[in-house]
Homo-oligomer: A and B are copies of this chain.
Amino acid sequence: MSAGKEDQILRSELEVLRDYLRRHGMRFTPEREAICREVFARHDHFTVDELYLDLRRKRRISRASLYRTIPILIAAGLISEVFTDSGQTRYEHTYGHEHHCHLLCLECGRVVEFAEPSLKQVEQRVAREHGFVVRGHRLEVHGLCPRCQGKEKEGRGRRREKKKT
């Protein structure tokens, strides 16, 4: 991703967004600004619906705007999809942060972030070998967290939970 360039002044996420929009003939609207602010205000792995409910408390906004804005934030290098959890995609803001990987508990869904610098070299090697230009990577390590070891259900993993209305 384009983040994490050290020795370089970091523009604010809003500037990045504004620039991206301008360069693409798109408009910098209050909705897009609010969504971007909200995304950088939280420091978790959020779903579109969580974002929607929080934003909704502060202003008028529709889910459609969220669904239409998320891909823009991704293309602008501000956020990325981190993983899919019971059918819903989870995102995190990445602009200005070191790249990191995720350790996931298969039983309870707990997430631990960790750095793995060696993956940069893996990226390079693979890209060279296959003629790709690399844009990024995603590493998930799956396992059982301390609390969930032993009480393992020997089953088919977490089921999708019913929506809590």
Chain A residues with CB under 8 Å of chain B are 24, 71-72, 74-75, 84, 101, 103, 105-106, 112, 114, 116, 118-119, 122-123, 126-127, 129-146, 149, 154-157
B156 pairs with A72, CB closer than 8 A: yes
A118 pairs with B122, CB closer than 8 A: yes
Distance (Å) between the CB of A163 and the closest chain B CB?
Answer: 18
A141 pairs with B126, CB closer than 8 A: yes
Known pairs A84-B84, A118-B118, A140-B137; A130 contacts B112 (CB<8 A): yes
**Closest B residue by C-beta to A124:** B141
9 more contacts with CB within 8 A, not counting A24-B154, A127-B143, are: A103-B127, A105-B132, A106-B135, A116-B126, A133-B143, A134-B143, A135-B142, A138-B142, A139-B139
Question: Contacts of A146 on B, CB cut-off 8 Å?
Answer: 130-132
Determine the distance from Cα of A72 to Cα of B154 in the docked complex, in whole angstroms.
Answer: 11
B145 pairs with A132, CB closer than 8 A: yes
What copy number does this chain have within its complex? 2
Give the most central of A106, A132, A136, A155: most B CB within 10 Å. Answer: A132
Distance (Å) between the CB of A77 and the closest chain B CB?
Answer: 12
B139 pairs with A137, CB closer than 8 A: yes
Question: Contacts of A112 on B, CB cut-off 8 Å?
Answer: 130, 132
Determine the distance from Cα of A71 to Cα of B131 in the docked complex, in whole angstroms.
Answer: 36
B156 pairs with A141, CB closer than 8 A: no
Determine the distance from Cα of A144 to Cα of B136 in the docked complex, in whole angstroms.
Answer: 10
Distance (Å) between the CB of A92 and the closest chain B CB?
Answer: 16
A114 pairs with B129, CB closer than 8 A: yes
